[in-house]
Amino acid sequence: MLTSLTLLVPPAPSSPLLSVNCLSHFPFSPSISAAASASDFLRLVSRRLALATKTQSVTTMTTQEEECMGSVKAQLAKLFEASLKVTVPNEPYVEPLIAACTGNFGDYQCNNAMGLWSKIKGKGTQFRGPPAVGEAIKNNLPTSEMIESCSVAGPGFVNVVLSKNWMAKSIQKMLIEGIDSWAPMPPVKTAVVDFSSPNIAKEMHVGHLRSTIIGDTLARMLEFSKVKVLRRNHVGDWGTQFGMLIEFLFEKFPNFEDATETAIGDLQAFYKASKQRFDSDPVFKERAQQAVVLLQGGEEKYRRAWAQICEISRTEFYKVYQRLGVHLEEKGESFYNPYIPGVIEGLTKQGLVEESQGARVIFIEGVNIPLIVVKSDGGFNYASTDLAALWYRLNEEKAEWIIYVTDVGQQQHFDMVFKAAKRAGWLPQGDNSYPKASHVGFGLVLGEDGKRFRTRNTEVVRLVDLLDEARSRSKAALIERGKGEEWTEEEIESTADAVGYGAVKYADLKNNRLTNYTFNFDQMLNDKGNTAVYLLYAHARICSIIRRSGKDVDELMNKGTLVLEHKDERDLGLHLLQFAEVVEEACTNLLPNVLCDYLYNLSEVFSKFYSNPECKVIGSDNETSRLLLCEVTAVVMRKCFNLLGITAIYKI
């Protein structure tokens, strides 16, 4: 029961990148009234959550109270919303369907006419088909400085051409106020992103790469959107394997507290050796099983040994997170252990938990296997922990959106956990309401042979080695290009970090996360095509253009005026203005590749503008305006890099 448990918090490591809230849980009464049962407590807090939580529609990430001024789509939606109310006053709220145009008819398009016609035909309407509805929508639009012209095409599509003067003013306004003014405004205040989640006493390998990189990017996009993000590292730090690890530690190091990372050596080899001993030596196996009992019972010596093993693992994890620039707060399986009995009791009292073949399970509609929450031997499992974690995140951390980043193989497991939570009333039934939980699945990392990425001896590649190899190759390329003679050692090292680690991240993120992708150093470090190297160099070139001009950009921002007279200038301006809605789309659908596509296309649109002789920058009559256009492109590129966890470079 919750009332008989306590939380032991080992000392946190000194790393600013990895704050730790890891725990072991042993008997003593926490701050829950002893008079109240755990299930009563859980029920009380669940009721409080239900009363406090507003179920919100997520049709759009823009709240009704606040308009995202950076998003062109959001601003157009406000105008078309007013028009739709006048056009079909007898229809209930009609959500404006606004999309960027892909053809030459305009910049944006309102696509409501056909859907409206299907609703109003036969009701004595004055309209005679979708084109007439489209014309009415166009004619009822409020006057706005952002619209230059409108036209109706096909079955009522209302095409909008933006005013180039409004576009230029909006871009310059962002340049002065900062790109945060273009941040989306999702209808949530607090989100949990659960990612990375390696196992204690095991090396982080390439299989953890995608979860760490994707999760970090999702967290960054939400943080940019003014959401409080709880970055959770749900490490595997509890379970029966710790009995064998502790006994093996005692055997190899009688003074176990002197056992350091250096003394133990390869933790993965240590784990394998202990497992081999466990499988082959019955006496050792019995001692290991007893060690689990002593650990879970709170025996001081075993708790200290457990904490020692966790700390050595944590040091290894930190090496990876430091290279990737990823910040996480560790709350492993052990953190949620005290909450499991109360959560299971509460679900049982609700009638959700049933007996089945000696185990206690929750049956999920549409799934032919039950969700086992207590094993037949009375032990808990992943489902027990995940339900307790979900309960805690909803009730204690007040999260409105909980995002789990794991491989696609765990999709069914999380789907069952979420459905159980809906049955319990923790989550609303609709998938488009808050609070909600989402599983972000991803595919495998493959080698060039099309199989799971491994080294020659069939071992999975250590992630730290992979990152170091990318960095080493990046540095070698810089030396080969003669930068060793031109740059300082610090510039060489920092650029090698940015390009090497950035190349690995971008090679992953540019793919739809649901697909497998092939890991290839030569491709990801290529300075041509859709790679981080090409994009980082493109940004550095823009910075070089501005430096060569000799002008003070801050002064130009406040005194100069940006104009979009040439078609290529306008095309670039339009692409820049779409940044806010792209981040919104990437956040809503949890797809980082949407942002990567935007970034690559931005570099291509800029290249077209800059390479056009008619758009000469330095020394032209429009130098000030075009330098400002260069600067805003660099600002948006840097924010894209930042959201992707990539460090920008400023010289090549």
On the question of pLDDT at 90 being above 50, the answer is yes
> Who has greater pLDDT, 125 or 322?
322
Average pLDDT over residues 382-395: 96
- The reported pTM is 0.87
Delineate the domains of the chain, giving CATH numbers in brackets.
72-162 (3.30.1360.70), 196-235+334-442 (3.40.50.620), 240-325 (no CATH), 493-651 (1.10.730.10)
How big is the CA angle at 87 (ends 82 and 92), to the nearest 5 degrees? 75
| Span of 12-21, 83-92, 361-370 with lowest mean pLDDT | 12-21
Which pLDDT value is given to residue 2? 36
Q: Which helix (H) or strand (E) holds 401?
A: strand 401-407
CA distance 399 to 191: 5
Which pLDDT value is given to residue 257? 74
Report the chain's mean pLDDT, rounded to a whole number: 87
What band does 151 get if pLDDT is binned at 50, 70 and 90? very high
In three-state secondary structure terms, 402 is strand
How big is the CA angle at 64 (ends 62 and 66), to the nearest 5 degrees? 70
What is the radius of gyration, based on Cα positions, of the chain?
28
Q: How does pLDDT run across 165-203, given as a tens digit for each residue?
A: 999 999 999 999 999 999 999 999 999 999 999 999 888
CA distance 465 to 108: 47
Which pLDDT value is given to residue 122? 73
Which pLDDT value is given to residue 191? 98
**Residue 112 to residues 78, 157, 234, 344, 377, Cα–Cα distance (Å):** 14, 8, 44, 48, 58
CA distance 216 to 210: 10
Which pLDDT value is given to residue 542? 98
Q: How does pLDDT run across 343-355, given as a tens digit for each residue?
A: 999 999 999 999 9
Q: How does pLDDT run across 264-319, given as a tens digit for each residue?
A: 667 778 888 999 999 999 999 999 999 988 988 889 999 999 998 999 889 889 99
**Residue 430 to residues 98, 134, 320, Cα–Cα distance (Å):** 24, 32, 38
Helices assigned H by DSSP within 59-112:
72-87
On the question of pLDDT at 96 being above 80, the answer is yes
CA distance 27 to 12: 22
| Span of 89-93, 191-195, 406-410, 605-609 with lowest mean pLDDT | 89-93
> Who has greater pLDDT, 324 or 3?
324
**Tokens describing residue 183:** 């941040």
Which pLDDT value is given to residue 7? 31
Q: Which helix (H) or strand (E) holds 230?
A: strand 228-233
User: 484 phi and psi, to 5 degrees?
Assistant: -60, -30
On the question of pLDDT at 128 being above 90, the answer is no
What band does 69 get if pLDDT is binned at 50, 70 and 90? low
Q: How does pLDDT run across 196-226, given as a tens digit for each residue?
A: 999 998 888 877 899 999 999 999 999 999 9
